[in-house]
Chain A
Amino acid sequence: MIRMWKEFSKGLWKELPPFRLMLGLCPTLAVTASANDGLGMGAAVIFVLTLSNVLISLVRKIIPQKVRIACYIAIAATLVVVVELLMQAFAYPLYQSLGIFVPLIVVNCIILGRAEAFAGKNPVHLALVDGLGIGIGYMISLTFLGSLREVLGKGTWFGHPVMWDGFEPFGFMVMAPGAFIALGLIVGAMNFLNMRMAKKKAQGALQEMDGCAACGGCAMATKSREL
């Protein structure tokens, strides 16, 4: 049970896909012009990722090593077609605003990454919670980025006006460059918070460590600790 919680919760902060792992950036930048689109894209990814993780974990002992990538993609593609048809049937406006990025979930590196790194090696229940955790982390990230851009760029949140009267929308944020700048600032803020937290945690225990190793905030530190 503890193991399952661990696999689930890592997707929520420690391995948050777009902001920590830097995976799945293409839809992150392209479809987050509004919170609604971010939420919809995140939901589609949760569906595909969880089911593909479960299926791949089920068949992991049958698939020959040499053709595993092709099999993963075939499974993901099947699920994506399901999502696409469901969206066309029940959420057509969302389908229209997401456009090409729904079919592109097939080649989203999160799907293939989780399949290769986790689901192909672990039992079904762990693969399920891993897919759920990473998927929910992805949805939260996309919704957060979409909200930030929509509130600043249009003055609305999920389509409802939230800013004061006379607010002039900062239209730059819903344009393409706004996505890059918002993503960069969020990643910077997360690194800042992580360094702070690591410093606080390490204050007592790591007194003897010096320089990069003492901070624990970046990849260098993990490396030097492993050495």
Chain B
Amino acid sequence: MKSGNPETGGMVPCLLIGESAPHIHCGRTIRGLMLDIIIAMLPSAVLAIVYWGVDALRVMALAVAVAVLAEAACCRLMGRKSSIDDLNAVVVGLLVAFMLPAGVAWWAVVVGVGLSICLGKMVFGGIGANPVPAALVGYAAISVCWGIHVDPDTVQLATSWSDPLTKLKFFGAAGIEKFGYADLLFGRQIGGLGSANVGMILLGGLYLVARRTVRWQIPLAFLLGTAVVSGLFYMAAPETYAPPLFHLLTGGVMFAAFFIATDYACSPSRTAAMFLYGVLGGALVVLIRVYGMHVDGTAFAVLLASLVVPYCVLLRPKPFGVK
């Protein structure tokens, strides 16, 4: 776009005004943002260790270690300055770990996190260049290939809890009667080791929103999308479909809304676009859960929604004077 000159009142308004130095730095750094996200993930991580013991710690530590090593190796191969100190690799590793069950095989973690960093992030040019959330790339790849080693249902056998979404898938609304909302909120359900602790994720998410690390529109729109679409199904046939609150408190919905869908590089930035993106993702979750073959379609819903983002971004006001 041509840059108009504000003084001559050009036809095209100046969208980017560059003043000469010195500038005031607002104090935000990538490292600071990533630290915020890690802090927000801590409560859920602690609860995961309380519930699953050293297994959960093992998965998270391995994921973070592999992520940092993979990023360092990629940077070296690309002949770049190492970018591991911006903590983004740590966050990506933790995000992948949060979606995996605590008993997952170590090689699945290594391959998943390695793919996330190498194919999800570095191959496009590093942080800020990824077209889809990096953590989802590796998770999607391993969950498609090694479903039996990655699905919470087939991995977490030594527990009395069960996976509410599997019950819903195979037994319909009758299968989920015994789940209380309080149980779901406190994470007494089988799911990803971190993402199933819905209450703690919500706590961390609210912290992120309060700190303005993430924009509130995306999580709100995502949860709204899930609630409205599942509400429509529920209103149509309450004896077959689960109530909206059930969908919000199970699987990875809360986690995806606050931590995955808000990825800086691949979420839009205008309010209308953010709402469209969030609602689309949330609606896709329910559609996959109802019609799809996946038990919890959250990861795939966010992947699809982030592929639509380039079109959501077209929702913008017409610049003054442009036909």
Using a CB–CB cutoff of 8 Å, the interface residues on chain A facing chain B are 168-172, 181, 188
Contacts and interface: CB of A to CB of B under 8 A. Distances in A.
Contacts of A169: 145
Contacts of A181: 119
A154 to B, nearest CB: 12
Contacts of A171: 144-145
B149 interface: yes
Return the 3 tightest CB-CB contacts between A and B, nearest first.
A171-B145, A172-B145, A170-B145
Main secondary structure of the interface of A (DSSP, over half): helix
B141 interface: yes
Interface of B: 107, 111, 119, 123, 141, 144-146, 149
B119 A172 contact: no
Contacts of A170: 111, 145-146
Contacts of B149: 168
Given A168-B107, A171-B145, 7 more contacts: A168-B146, A168-B149, A170-B146, A171-B144, A172-B141, A172-B145, A181-B119
Contacts of A188: 123
A164 to B, nearest CB: 12
Contacts of A172: 141, 144-145
A172 B141 CA distance: 7
9 contacts: A168-B107, A168-B145, A168-B149, A170-B145, A170-B146, A171-B144, A172-B141, A172-B144, A188-B123
B144 to A, nearest CB: 6
A188 B149 CA distance: 31
Nearest to B77: A192
A168 B142 CA distance: 11
Contacts of A168: 107, 145-146, 149
B183 to A, nearest CB: 33
A170 to B, nearest CB: 5
A189 to B, nearest CB: 11
Contacts of B107: 168
Interface centre among B111, B141, B144, B145 (most CB of A within 10 A): B145
Contacts of B146: 168, 170
A170 B111 CA distance: 10
Which of A169, A170, A181, A188 counts the most chain B CB atoms within 10 A? A170
Nearest to B105: A168
B303 to A, nearest CB: 12
A171 B149 CA distance: 13
Nearest to B119: A181
Nearest to A175: B144
Contacts of B145: 168-172
A172 B149 CA distance: 15
A171 B143 CA distance: 11
A94 to B, nearest CB: 27
Nearest to A192: B77
Nearest to A168: B146
A33 to B, nearest CB: 15
A2 B317 CA distance: 64
A169 B148 CA distance: 12
A8 B145 CA distance: 41
A171 B150 CA distance: 14
